[in-house]
Amino acid sequence: MVRVRKVQPLGRFKVSPEFTDGTVKIVDLEPYLRGPIFEPIRQDQSRFRSVRVDEELGTIIWEGGADIDPDVLRWDRVPVQPEGASH
């Protein structure tokens, strides 16, 4: 199971995660930041840049409980959208 080891925030809604398999990517998270839990992150770039790795889960997280599945990040999968999330 590949997980996130490190993450670096880049420009507008982009991050560079490093995975446990050694892969480093640039991922544009803008399409994934949908729903109420992500709204504060979309509205505030300083909050977006506060992204960090949850070492236990092996994924990226933000204050307030927002996270993105590491498989979405690594394999470019489409995340499950919460009910009522706008696109």
CATH number for the domain including 43? 3.30.2020.10
Tokens 């991922």 sit on residue: 27
Q: Which contiguous run of DSSP H or E holds residue 47?
A: helix 45-48
Mean pLDDT, consecutive 10-residue segments, the chain of 87 residues? 96 96 96 94 96 96 95 83 53
| Stated pTM of the model | 0.85
- What's residue 17's pLDDT? 98
In a domain, 52, yes or no: yes
Number of domains in the chain: 1
- What's residue 81's pLDDT? 60
Alpha-carbon gap, residue 21 to 1, rounded angstroms: 9
- What's residue 82's pLDDT? 54
